[in-house]
Structure 1
Amino acid sequence: MGSAYGRGRLHLAAAIDQQAVCGVGAFVELARLAERGALDFVTVGDASGRPGPGPGPGPGPEALAVSARVAPETARIGLVPVVATTHTEPFRVRAAVATLDWVSLGRAGWWIEVSGTEDGARPFGRRRAGSGDVLWGEAGEVADVAARLGDSREGDAGIREVGTGRFVDREKVRHADFEGVEGAGLSVRGPLIVPRPPQGHPVRVVDATEEDSRGTAARYADVALLRVADPAHADTVRKELRDAAAGFGRDPDELRVLVSLRVDLGGGEYAAEPGHGGGGPRQSAHGPLYRGGPVDLAELIIAWHRAGAADGFHLVPIEPHRDLERLVNGTVALLQHRGLFRTFYPGSTLREHLGLARPAHRYAVAGGATGGATGGAS
């Protein structure tokens, strides 16, 4: 299993969602704990979008704002807030995520989500939610236009010549001029007001568990999450995503596929409960659940990764502080002791943690050509 693509470096991430917590100190504490374990990134859920595998954080602060506050309190770990694109303007999304990348010095990502419920649409006072395929088609357009907006300014476009009154080199500023075709009717001119951020394009994460989202994940995501309980299933979907990415003109090795598991390490000193560990986690109403000890969780991670079923894992603690502490001090420490996971960050950006290249500026190419890029390359 997985022999077609082999296996590379193991990647680990964790959710730091918390029920009805508004104080940023709790988020900072968890992010620092994850950073101590050298995890690639943490995700932050948002009440306005599905936060991933679990019942959700409930009412609370906005994920982007929390991440921006956590950024100066951490040094290396990636920060990936959930951003529901269905009711949020693409210009605002890109400006906020680019700002987070600047604030964090190149550690930002965004978990692209959709909101398909009437309860999700009502607070915005806007249109009714569409079907899953339409919503994910719109999300793909938001990802596309966000990349175009991100490249609308070259790095040295700002010149600030006070004497002449010239503050921008207009030759290095371009308009996105994007017209969407999905239900949202996107029409975005640009350019973006925020300079191109340190990573070029902050890392894009998509939950590809459902078939409606897989096309968007294959075309635009840097990281795809899968909430599956069986390694063979994960392997099959991973191959599907990589093949689809290649069909969009992408290098499939530039797509990381992580299995997302809820973890309950409350009985940390005991072996995994039957059906939860060993042979695999148990499927629950909110996604696959592992319940047991950190040692057996490490063995599960090793087995799935060596089989080529996943490039890594996104772990969602049931009890945020308790389980994340046992995850870092137990599971991750064991993986590090065996030489299977890093003990420090060799780079400073999230793209470097994930082994992903910094995207080239679509306009700043040899000879000054200004040809557009395909969606897969954006």
Structure 2
Amino acid sequence: MSRRLITAIEIDGAGSHPDAWRGASVDPSAILTGELALRAVQRAEAAGIDFATFVDTLEAPADEPSRVSARLDALGLAARIAPSTDRIGLIPTVTVTHTEPFHVQASVATLDYVSAGRAGWLAEVSTSAEAAAVIGRREPAEAADTWREARYVVDVSRRLWDSWEDDAIIRDAPTGRFIDRDRIHYVDYSSPAFSIKGPSIVPRPPQGHPLVAVRLSSAEALQAGADADLVLLPGATGLDDRLAEVRAASLTPRVLLSVSVALGDGPAAGVDYAGGVEELADLVEGWNAAGVDGIHLRPASLELDVPVIAEQLVPLLRERRLLGPAVERATSLRNRLGLKRPANRYAGSGR
């Protein structure tokens, strides 16, 4: 039985294809100013797409004349785009292996404020020696260790977001009291990798907890998916078996199928789907019937494929009743996806 689909797009430089920046319609300088990404996200928002993800890695792009050898920080790019949008969700990739958990949660909480409750983050790990050398804080670790640590980071982030109760800020100017210290709490968190006393330096985010997403790129990531609100399932090959694995792991998040697509006249080699809109809509309808909650589209070219997605594919999916009406008013990303705002675990505890 089909259900209302969640829709999302990926922002990755000029597109997911490495030659996307060569397109005649692409201004390469717009990649590094954020203008190209902003244009794509605004098109997606106008079409009613639910959220955009932003690619990032700790490794520097290869320094090759045929490639764009720089990438904007995903969190910074999402913060740049937030004030110029008002409905679409913004989910940047944050690699947690070499970054401080306290700063990660504060940055994501700040994005939730900047976007008025439309933020999330795609938790990622790094096992590469190159990333370890760039950061210089520790040696590379195995995937199992990095994903185990990522789960601790997600856990402590949620605790730190709860370290301020919703009514901790009182702003009582006549008495000079601006916060109620009884509503700010220590988290006193310890893990094998780090310890944090808290509280956070950022008040509780508008959504309570910004959304946590995980890309199910390995068996270790599958286990971490248990801590997420959304999971991305890369590629459509063997979908039934992989959905069975997700169900066997007793995961409760929304599951989105993540596929690279080429719908315009740009580069198409190596993408999951290259072809017409009608045929892709047929595939999406089948994936939805198979049990996925949404579709995460990775355009080969932002300039060529996002307009086709926004102006042709999304209206067609809506015509087939796979999508509901476009959201016309500002709302939180949690509300948009039908997810409850979490209760504060420390409220009334007196800790």
Pick the TM interval, shorter chain.
0.7 to 0.9
Structure 2 distance, partners of 1:200, 1:7, is 30
Alignment of 1:164-183 (within 5 A): 165-181=176-192
Structure 2 distance, partners of 1:45, 1:65, is 12
Q: Closer, same or farther in 2 for the Cα pair 1:157/1:33, shift >3 Å?
A: same
Cα displacement (A) at 1:167: 3.4
- 1:167 partner SS: strand
TM normalised by structure 1 equals 0.81
Residue 27 of structure 1 pairs with residue 37 of structure 2: yes
- The match for 2:4 among 2, 5, 9 is 9
- The match for 1:199 among 202, 207, 216 is 207
Residue 237 of structure 1 pairs with residue 242 of structure 2: no
Is the contact between residue 2 and residue 322 of structure 2 (CA under 8 Å) also seen in structure 1?
no
Structure 1 distance, partners of 2:47, 2:214, is 24
TM normalised by structure 2 equals 0.87
Structure 2 distance, partners of 1:338, 1:196, is 40
Structure 1 distance, partners of 2:80, 2:37, is 9
Cα displacement (A) at 1:357: 0.9
State the match for 1:299 in structure 2.
282
- With a CA cutoff of 8 Å and minimum separation of 6, indicate the structure with the bigger relative contact order: 2
Gaps of 5+ in 2: 15-27, 62-66
State the match for 1:321 in structure 2.
303
State the match for 2:86 in structure 1.
75
Is the contact between residue 182 and residue 350 of structure 2 (CA under 8 Å) also seen in structure 1?
no
Gaps of 5+ in 1: 1-5, 246-251, 269-275, 277-281, 372-378
RMSD of aligned residue pairs (Cα, Å): 2.4
- 1:345 partner SS: coil
Alignment of 1:89-100 (within 5 A): 89-100=100-111
Q: Closer, same or farther in 2 for the Cα pair 1:264/1:351, shift >3 Å?
A: same
- The match for 1:37 among 36, 47, 51 is 47
State the match for 1:266 in structure 2.
264
Is the contact between residue 262 and residue 273 of structure 2 (CA under 8 Å) also seen in structure 1?
yes
Structure 1 distance, partners of 2:273, 2:225, is 25
Residue 221 of structure 1 pairs with residue 238 of structure 2: no
CA deviation profile, 1:128-153 (whole Å, cap 9, x unmatched): 11000000000000000000000001
CA deviation profile, 1:208-251 (whole Å, cap 9, x unmatched): 13101111111x1000011132331342133134x2x3xxxxxx
CA deviation profile, 1:99-150 (whole Å, cap 9, x unmatched): 1101111100100000110111111111011000000000000000000000
Identity %: 41
Q: Which amino acid aligns with 1:139?
A: A
Q: Which amino acid aligns with 2:336?
A: H
Structure 1 distance, partners of 2:89, 2:36, is 17
